[in-house]
Amino acid sequence: MNYYDGQGFLVSKKLGVKSAKELSGATFCIQAGTTTELNLTDYFKANKMEYTPITYDTSAQSIEGFEAGRCDALTSDASQLYGLRTTLKNPDSAIVLPEIISKEPLGPVVRQGDDVWFNIVKWTQIAMLNAEELGVNSANVDEMLESKNPNVQRLLGVTGDIGKNLGLDPKWAYNVIKQVGNYGESFDRNVGKDSPLGIARGLNALWKDGGLQYGAPIR
């Protein structure tokens, strides 16, 4: 599953701040040797703000420092911050602020030169996005086999030869959706509203809903 991420800020609710623009003069727990340090410096310089860094060797040490009150805020990739927040004794004591100050896209990785497997992974991602856009999910995929929509028919292997071109069964996308769900289902289950992280879709919403997720046509 590809995911559009970026650097964010985790702060204690006791600070009473709602925006990173209110963090001038704050002390930050930062993992040393990462782009996080440079991004934070650039952001505060651009906004004419000041901060005090406290560096740690690992993210585990950073969150320990944050929980112990040695810093006002913790900064890292937003998805990591949501994960670290769940490790706090009281996760509700901290919030992830809305600002995203860098581009940190995440995605599946395959071995270089393995073009067959790369195509399968790529088109599986595309199929899951198309399924969500077309309203096909793990609960209704059997019913949707009877759909008259040509896009749904190609997606589920009723017509077309995408599966053959990938070296797969004609119902490869049907099997993925039946077992795993569409992109939205996978997002919600793993990192979204149905997971302990509770990350909002944001930029990971479908393009038609104001996000960046866009699946190429299944043709």
Q: In what order do the strands lie in the sheet with 73-77?
A: 51-56, 26-31, 73-77, 7-12, 94-96
Distances (CA, A) of 102 to 7, 36, 78: 5, 9, 10
When pLDDT is averaged across residues 75-92 and rounded to a whole number, the result is 95
Cα 42–8–99 angle (5° rounding)?
A: 85
- pLDDT, averaged across the chain: 95
Which residues face 74 on adjacent strands? 10, 29
Q: How high is the pLDDT of residue 1?
A: 67
Q: How many helices (H) and strands (E) does the chain have?
A: 9, 5
pLDDT tens readout for residues 90-100: 999 999 999 99
When pLDDT is averaged across residues 161-177 and rounded to a whole number, the result is 95
Residue 219 pLDDT > 90: no
Q: Which domains does the chain have, with CATH numbers?
A: 7-96 (3.40.190.10), 115-209 (no CATH)
DSSP letter (8 states) at residue 15: G
Cα 145–147–148 angle (5° rounding)?
A: 135
Cα–Cα distance between 117 and 187 in angstroms, integer? 22
Among residues 179, 173, 138, the alpha carbon closest in space to that of 152 is found at 173
DSSP letter (8 states) at residue 211: S
Cα–Cα distance between 9 and 102 in angstroms, integer? 11
Q: How high is the pLDDT of residue 34?
A: 87
pTM over 0.85: yes
Cα 203–208–214 angle (5° rounding)?
A: 65
pLDDT tens readout for residues 6-35: 999 999 999 999 999 999 999 999 988 889
Cα–Cα distance between 170 and 91 in angstroms, integer? 45
Q: How confident is the model at residue 216 (pLDDT cuts 50, 70, 90)?
A: very high
